Structures are given as structure tokens and as C-alpha cells.
Amino acid sequence: MQSDAFEVTDADGNVRARLGLAPDGALSLDLADAAGMIRATLSVEPSGSAALKLADAEGTFRLAAGSWLDGSTSVDLYDAQRNHRISLAEAEGRPAGVTVWDQAGHLRALLAQGPEVDRESSVEFWDRDGTYRAGFGTWPDGATGSMLLDGEGTLRGRVGQRAEGPATIELYGSRGDFKIAMGEYPDGAGRLNLWDEDGNPVVGRVE
């Protein structure tokens, strides 16, 4: 038996499942609940993308898992207002990891590995205005560290181990200029360095 569509109905005659071809050539399997709401769709597009989508009781798709035409694979979660909130993704030349957005669609957090040479692995955070505020990670050159930025996106603090240098704690002014650096250096010495508002090294208090 051949057909371009097959349907499964329940005892009341309600269509609960449909396997068929769309006019554009997409093949899909739709599964509906007792109220007739499509809750799950498995599809293969003419482009070659394959996806599984799951919907809530209102028919809003809340999860999409797919292997896409551009070579990427992902699992994406949406809230009840259809806002994209979480993505677990992998793609050539892009970070492999987890991305989180807030309800307004602003990028808020990223846990990722790669791509080289931009990062090795890191955890990064943005505020609701889209300003990068904090990050912790390792880099391909062997360095590791944590960075804190103010609401203007200016680096204000860093704790880390440079690839070919000291392990340091560094504090910066509102213009991104050095204020305090404390570290253990490759020669075994521990040093505390201070700078004044003009960028001159000083000893003691920085006004």
C-alpha cells in the first residue's frame, strides 16, 4: 500500500498521528494529544535538515533538537512566549557549548569550548544591557584567568596565570588603566606594584 500520507485515529475518530509529505517535499510525523493539539513533530526537510520538535499543551514548541543544513547540531529550549532561552550546540568554527538568553532575548551566559584560537574553554557572563561583565577560562597559549568588568565594559579586575609570565591579581581604574598589581613572578619574587592617576608607579596609597 502506498500513499503520500497516513493517519492514525483514536476511538472517537480524532487524528492522533499523521505521517506524510508536505507540498515542499518535507516528510514529517506529527503526534497529537486527545484534544487534537500537535505535541511532537519529527521531520526531514528537502534541504537535508532533520529535527524533532516538542510542544506544550498550548501548542507552543518548547524544544527543538536537530541536525541542520549548515552542519551544526543543537538542542534548543524556548519559554511559553516563544523566546529562545537555552541552546546546546556544536558547529564547525563556532563555540561548542551552552548558551543562555533572558526573556528579552539578551545573551546572558556562555559555557563553551573553542573555537581556537579565540578560546580553549570558558564561562562568560553578560548583563541585561548586553555588556560583557565577567569571564573565567583557559586559553590556547596556556594562560588561565578570571576577569571582571564594570557596567561600561571596562576591565576592572583580573586574577590569572599568564602563559609566559607571573600569576597575578590586577586592579584597574575606570579608564582601564593599571592601579594595583600583586603577583608571584617566575624569578620567585613576590611583588606589589601601584600606579597613580597619571599612570606613574608609586609606593603606598593611590589617590
Give tens-digit pLDDT for 148-168. 999 999 999 999 987 777 888
pLDDT, average across residues 54-75: 94
Residue 184 to residue 59: CA distance in whole angstroms: 59
pTM: 0.82
One of 2.40.50.1020, 3.90.105.10, 3.20.20.150, 3.90.930.1 is the CATH number of 127-207, namely 3.90.930.1
Q: How confident is the model at residue 84 (pLDDT cuts 50, 70, 90)?
A: very high
Output the nine-digit C-alpha cell for 171. 586592579
Q: Give me the pLDDT at residue 100, please.
A: 97
Amino acid letter, residue 66:
G
pLDDT, one tens digit per residue, over 25-35 is: 899 999 999 99
CATH topology of domain 1-78: Outer Surface Protein A; domain 3 (3.90.930)
Q: What one-character DSSP code corresponds to residue 4? A: S
Cell matching residue 84: 529562545
Q: How far is CA 2 from the centre of its chain?
A: 44
Residue 55 pLDDT greater than 90, yes or no: yes
Q: For the segment 167-192, what is each residue's pLDDT rounded down to a tens digit?
A: 889 999 998 888 998 888 767 778 88
pLDDT of residue 5: 86
Domain boundaries, the chain: 1-78, 127-207
Same fold, 1-78 and 127-207: yes
Helices marked H in 26-133: none
- Which of the 8 DSSP states describes residue 48? S
pLDDT at 203: 64
Measured at the CA of 112, the angle between CA 111 and CA 118, to 5 degrees, comes to 130
Q: Which residues contact 60 (CB under 8 A, 6 or more apart)?
A: 78, 80, 82
Instruction: State residue 191's pLDDT score.
Output: 84
Q: In the predicted model, is pLDDT for residue 206 greater than 70?
A: no
Contacts (Cβ under 8 Å, ≥6 apart) of 11: none
Q: What are phi and psi of 126, to 5 degrees?
A: -125, 155
In this prediction, residue 189 carries a pLDDT of: 78
